Amino acid sequence: MVEFFHMSDTSFLICLKDGGRFESSQVKGMSCPLCGGDLLQESQMMSGLGSDLDEVETDYPEDVDEAALDEKNLLGDFILVEKLGEGGGGKVFKAWQEKLRRYVALKFLHIMDEEKVRRFQREAQLLAQLQHSNIAGVHEICDVEGQLFLVMHYIDGPSIDQVKLSLEQLLPSFVKICRAVDFAHTHKIIHRDIKPGNILVGSDQEVYVTD
């Protein structure tokens, strides 16, 4: 059984490119391990919010602005933009997080029975430990209006089976996928559903293992 403790003195870094949040002790340097963007101390960002609150941008991206017109898309701090996929376990949506002004992926459970909720929470705890450049990270788990969901790193791109790649392009990507899966295995996490539909190619042309 894995136990998790909140450390009050733990510091975090925020990616200025996509809003990812990482423990300072888990990151080398000031570059995001997922997208390579610049990192900023969370404490600096929060202090800046207090002094520059009146200057915070309020305009939404066009797709978010349109989605926000429908009340059913409003869920706490999130605006559901579009459904990305659906499987036996649940649905995944592209969403906008208002406080951090970033796109995220939200994963919802289909059925909220006690056993599935425990497994869902366990999954979130395990995935949150994985800090790898080719694994879509988990930011947090939320319960809003009785709906339990994971807040995950949003990958802006199609699955690998929807992209035309030459053998020369595919082989390096395959190596990265294998290393990412091996990294998960070293942390005692087995994916159990590795398939092209769960491998995404981001706008940065990197490959990401998702679920």
Q: Which residues are catalytic?
A: 193
13-26 b/e (C-beta count within 10 Å ≥ 16 → b): bbbebbbbbbeeee
Amino acid at 175: V
The whole-angstrom separation of Cα 80 and Cα 84 is 11
| Contact by Cβ (8 Å): 92, 110 | no
Contacts within 8 Å (CB) and 24+ apart, 59-65: 60/96, 61/96, 64/96
